[in-house]
Amino acid sequence: MKKLLVLSLFLFSVSLYAQSTIDFETVGADYTWTFFANSTADSTHYGVVDNPSKTGINTSAKCFKFVVVPAADRWAGMFGQSHGSFQLNENNSMITIMVYKDVLTPFNLKLEPPAQDHNVTNSLTNQWEKLTFDYSAAIGTTVNTITIIPDFPASRTAGSTNYFDNIEFIHQSVPVELTSFSATSGKTGIELNWTTATEKNNKGFEILKGNSDNAFRTIAFVDGKGTTTSPQDYRFVDQTAVSGKVYYRLRQVDFDGTSKFSKTIEVGGFTPTEFELSQNFPNPFNPTTTIQFSLPSASKVSVKVFDMLGKEVATVVNDNFSAGVQKVVYNASNLASGMYIYQLNAVPTQGSAFTSSKMMTILK
């Protein structure tokens, strides 16, 4: 039997009837969430909390937190109906949400009707990432319920902590004329190129990457040229693609927050031809940084950190990885400020081992 818990919060910035944002701040109108299937969880497992990482794409003071208890059902989540009914149209059928999760699992944002699961998996852990849910196929449907299932794998990830923020119902009419958008697979990655004929108040372009299920996530942002009547050319290289087909689309964003999506393009995947260890980013950092490395074939990989005297101070990862461009997040909260060496050792299933080292700086 599902256990329900109702929590009233001050969450909603404006009415859904006007392309709103659910911002999870303690301002706005009353908004009520009902929680379900999270077993013995109580109000300490969900609610508005301080943003765990006010950096990158989300510097909001507050966000929402949902902790999955070990005995929860895999569909544990929350739903809201106090916004009233609203109709999906071309101005609100593309929905984005920022997530910050400690596991890589599908996030389900489900509008009812049409009552179809829309699962998008995050590609980062413990970093803010924007996911996009395409409800354009349901334009004309009247929605009564917004359901959120923040961790929806085949079997429940016991104890996962999920933060989310800024659910945006996007307006899609902006004065930027996109004349071309293409993708080409090369030796260093997949190169995206696009051109605009004119631009007005163009803040820039979010680059979204998806799979065969049209589950898109934001991977980068490219600044626009503001206002111009001259053609503008843009380029971005995605070095994180792997073998198999991948899909891309652009979300052009105006300075007033309105936005428009491009067509979706398809391209064959990219697999690195050489081993490579990239410079960590950010660098200097405090306390976390991302270490990226390229593998032309499946390999047993270890990444270790050494002080300047050559003493090993941390093992970042020691695991098997498939071919492709891989990323790991390193938390150096237990180390003092200073310069360190991080070293990659990759042993492929066939061929010679690869070792490479680079410097990193912790600045606290």
Between CA 132 and CA 109 the distance in angstroms is: 10
Q: Determine the average pLDDT of the residues in 351-362.
A: 93
Rounded to a whole number, what is the distance in angstroms from the first to the last CA of the chain? Answer: 49
Q: What is the per-residue pLDDT for 313?
A: 96
- pLDDT of 17 strictly over 50: no
Residue 26 has pLDDT above 70, yes or no: no
Whether 357 has a pLDDT exceeding 90, the answer reads: yes
pLDDT of the residue at 169: 83
Please write the tens of the pLDDT for every residue from 65-117. Answer: 999 888 788 788 999 886 678 888 877 888 889 999 988 888 999 999 998 88
Mean pLDDT of 292-298: 87
Q: Which tens digits make up the pLDDT trace of 142-173?
A: 999 999 999 887 665 667 899 999 888 875 54
Give the model confidence (pLDDT) of 188-230 as tens digits.
678 899 999 888 888 999 999 887 665 788 889 999 998 887 8
Distance CA 11, CA 32 (A): 9
Q: Is the peptide bond before 282 cis (omega within 30 degrees of 0)?
A: yes
DSSP track, 137-204:
GGTTPEE-EEEEES---SS--TT-EEEEEEEEEE----S-EEEEEEEEE-SSSEEEEEEEEEEEEEEE
Report residue 12's pLDDT band, with 50, 70 and 90 as the boundaries.
Answer: very low
pLDDT band at 8 (very low <50, low <70, confident <90, very high): very low
Mode of pairing for the β-strands spanning 161-170 and 21-22: antiparallel
List the structure tokens of 358: 């680079």
pLDDT at 32 over 80: no
Average pLDDT, the chain: 83
More confident residue, 60 or 189: 60
Q: Is the pLDDT of residue 9 over 50?
A: no
> What is the pTM assigned to this prediction?
0.53
Q: What is the mean pLDDT of residues 309-335?
A: 91
Element (H, E) at 110: strand 106-112
Structural domains in the chain, sorted by start:
5-170 (2.60.120.260), 177-267 (2.60.40.10), 276-362 (2.60.40.1220)
